[in-house]
Structure 1
Amino acid sequence: MSANNTSAKQTDKATTSASLAFSSLIPDVILDAVESTGLWSDSRIYPLNSYENRVYQVGIEDSAPVIAKFYRPERWTEAQILEEHATLLKLKADDVPVVAPLEFEGKSLFSHKGLFFCLSPRLVGQHPEADNLDELYQLGELIGQVHQKMSDQPFSQRISVSPLMQIDQAAKQILSANVLPKKLTPIYQQQIAKLRDMCEKRIQTYWPAQLRPVHGDSHRSNLMLHQGQFHLLDFDDCQNGVAVQDLWLHLTQTESPRQQLSEIIEGYENYLPFETRELDLIDVFKSVRVINYAAWLQSRWSDPAFVKAFPWFGSEEYWLNHLNELKNCELEWGNISR
């Protein structure tokens, strides 16, 4: 057997072992990982709401609890995670309200049982109210501040957003997995093709000459009002992207999305000018998010946590609802940005 084959088999074995450890994290493994950093746990563990990664609140003897985050194997490389951490630590040093990983002897990323993990302080607070215009203004300010501080240089390790590629990959994944009922497959293909064409035309009309570092997933659950100040959480999806990616998710289905948008942009422009042509990309990112969600569920179906949390996925009713969502994306095209 060649050295290359031996190395490949060892890598595959390590990957399988890490995946098994991740899907069945037990308290002893979690506590051993936390205590490997030098902390002493009081053995209290509370799982937090996270599907992509595994996140727990862990009690610490004679101190405040910490948040332990175990990264899903093979999703990000070590270099990509370290770039995320470096960004957060820089933002914290610049007094930007984010939650940065804790460092121990100059390290923020650790490995246990083949799993990468990090620890961070616990933050207690409330998520923003969906339709509160004052809070939307504050959120705009926070995102503007984050973008300003991250604007020094693009990420070198993280991904760069590519909407058309995302649509193509998601559709290919769904169709190749044979999870769609056969009678709905032609309808799905037609709807995806139509939305892709609409996205391509919008991108051809305007796409920024240079992408910028963005959070990438700044929905309300990733924002926390703590001691009167909003904090931006979980930079797991940080990437090179477009400013409006971090803004449009705060627009809710109300009669006045333009007023909401106005408040967000007004707050944002206290730190950076906003290119209004990016508003025409909202429909693109909205469509991509809807298309990707189904592919994300399908790609994680081997994880028992997903089977338990999303038992309805794959049913004919699910796919009918998904096709309806795709149709609504088309019908709502341009309602927000114009």
Structure 2
Amino acid sequence: MNDNAFTFQTLHPDTIMDALFEQGIRVDSGLTPLNSYENRVYQFQDEDRRRFVVKFYRPERWSVEQIQEEHQFALELIDDCVPVASLLSFNDQTLLNHQGFRFAVFPSVGGRQFEADNIDQMEAVGRYLGRMHQTGRKRPFVYRPTIGLEEYLIEPRKLFENASLIPSGLKADFLKATDALIAAVGERWHSGYTPLRLHGDCHAGNILWRDGPLFVDLDDARSGPAVQDLWMLLNGDKAEQRLQLATIVEAYEEFSEFDTAELDLIEPLRAMRLVYYLAWLMRRWADPAFPKNFPWLTGEDYWQHQTAAFIEQTKALQEPPLQLTPMY
């Protein structure tokens, strides 16, 4: 099966309910789809009115070993009292299989949206990220990848070269902007950090608030610099970002030392995410969910905007990196 073309079209509601029934769970409600494009995630209620979430992994994206490493990391975090979404085990297995689909089941938990402009909530998140990384440093990932230029920039650039989604009249300018961005990242990127196991996609949308933060969706867990789990929380103008960064790092360092040299990687990581995200959309275009939810990807305005965004990020890479501002 080709991962790029996989569409989940054979994952029918009956298939999902049969998969759950095999594990002793009787679905007694509808299957409510939750916001996920990479995988398929549904909330439901069983006959005892308990609520669950089931997550079906996109086949061939991650190997069995890589998913098991994600689960093991989550279980270690739970053991260390880091608030992450818990996994249910069936016959001592958290990764289950039905008709070729790998899936996992979680208790359904509620919560409010994390307020990215709330400095008190930001402090609490920083504290728990310090604890998360304390766990992340205990052992390395063996199978999961490490953040690097090849996966995030070089491979996407090859995809862009032959992409039919990019309007022909705009492709030359887009590729020129891409090449300039890649070159700028190459000048700033360094590997002078100690990699650790990360959440990997720690933005506000992956944090719920329940009298404290709850981190969800470790699907993008991988190895890399600690700052990867910090920079996506920053928002607003530079002054606001400096205050947020100082708040996060001060709380973080209650549990883990933070290497300020990693601040140099914030803008390279931002650039890498811009390129990688766009390549991800293009790789998934054969999945009907993507044209339906991202129809603007076929418009000229979108590609002009992407070209401008790459040029703007290249300029940002020429500026001095964000620095910590003392809290007192």
TM-score when normalising by structure 1: 0.90
Q: 1:268 aligns with which of 249, 252, 258?
A: 252
Q: 2:121 aligns with which of 135, 149, 162?
A: 135
Q: Which residue of 1 aligns with 2:306?
A: 322
CA distance in 2, matches of 1:96, 1:159: 23
Corresponding position: 1:219 with 2:203 = yes
Task: State the SS of the aligned residue for 1:224.
Answer: strand
Q: Which residue of 2 aligns with 1:283?
A: 267
Instruction: Tell me which moved more, 177-186 or 53-62.
Output: 177-186
CA distance in 2, matches of 1:116, 1:320: 39
CA distance in 2, matches of 1:136, 1:271: 15
Corresponding position: 1:96 with 2:82 = yes
Q: Which residue of 2 aligns with 1:246?
A: 229
The aligned length equals 320
Q: 2:9 aligns with which of 20, 23, 47?
A: 23
Instruction: Tell me which moved more, 207-216 or 121-130.
Output: 207-216
Distance 1:19 1:167, change over 3 A: closer
Report if the CA contact (8 A) 1:297-1:306 is conserved.
yes
Greater relative contact order, per chain length (Cα 8 Å cut-off, separation 6+) = 2
Instruction: Tell me which moved more, 297-306 or 56-65.
Output: 56-65
Report if the CA contact (8 A) 1:137-1:264 is conserved.
yes
CA RMSD of aligned residues (A): 1.8
**Residue 43 (structure 1) shift:** 3.2
Report if the CA contact (8 A) 2:69-2:144 is conserved.
yes
Q: Which residue of 2 aligns with 1:48?
A: 34
Q: Which residue of 1 aligns with 2:322?
A: 337
Q: Which residue of 2 aligns with 1:73?
A: 59
**Residue 179 (structure 1) shift:** 2.3
Report if the CA contact (8 A) 1:164-1:200 is conserved.
no
Structure 1 unaligned segments of length 5 or more: list them. 1-11
Task: State the SS of the aligned residue for 1:273.
Answer: coil
CA distance in 2, matches of 1:92, 1:23: 34
Q: Which residue of 2 aligns with 1:177?
A: 163
Q: Which residue of 2 aligns with 1:197?
A: 183
CA distance in 1, matches of 2:151, 2:25: 43
Report if the CA contact (8 A) 1:287-1:329 is conserved.
yes
1:98-157 CA deviation, whole Å, 9 max, x = no partner?
A: 112100110111111211000011110012112111111111111111010121111001
Instruction: Tell me which moved more, 280-289 or 170-179.
Output: 170-179
CA distance in 2, matches of 1:124, 1:336: 37
CA distance in 2, matches of 1:165, 1:32: 37
1:44-80 CA deviation, whole Å, 9 max, x = no partner?
A: 2111000000000011111421100000011000111
Instruction: Tell me which moved more, 49-58 or 163-172.
Output: 163-172
Q: 1:299 aligns with which of 270, 277, 283?
A: 283
The one-letter code matched in structure 2 to 1:232 is F
Q: Which residue of 2 aligns with 1:6?
A: none
**Residue 313 (structure 1) shift:** 0.8
Structure 2 unaligned segments of length 5 or more: list them. 324-328
Q: 1:313 aligns with which of 297, 300, 304?
A: 297
Distance 1:317 1:301, change over 3 A: same
1:258-289 CA deviation, whole Å, 9 max, x = no partner?
A: 11111111111111111101111000010011
Task: State the SS of the aligned residue for 2:311.
Answer: helix
The percent of aligned pairs where both chains have the same amino acid is 37
Q: Which residue of 1 aligns with 2:108?
A: 122
The one-letter code matched in structure 2 to 1:213 is R
CA distance in 1, matches of 2:215, 2:251: 15
Q: Which residue of 1 aligns with 2:148?
A: 162
CA distance in 2, matches of 1:165, 1:35: 38
Which 4+ stretches in 1 moved above 4 angstroms?
none
Q: Which residue of 2 aligns with 1:146?
A: 132
The one-letter code matched in structure 1 to 2:157 is A
CA distance in 2, matches of 1:277, 1:105: 45
CA distance in 1, matches of 2:45, 2:27: 6
Report if the CA contact (8 A) 1:99-1:231 is conserved.
yes
CA distance in 1, matches of 2:194, 2:80: 24
CA distance in 2, matches of 1:25, 1:327: 41
Q: Which residue of 2 aligns with 1:35?
A: 21
Instruction: Tell me which moved more, 162-171 or 280-289.
Output: 162-171
CA distance in 2, matches of 1:295, 1:57: 29
Task: State the SS of the aligned residue for 1:172.
Answer: helix
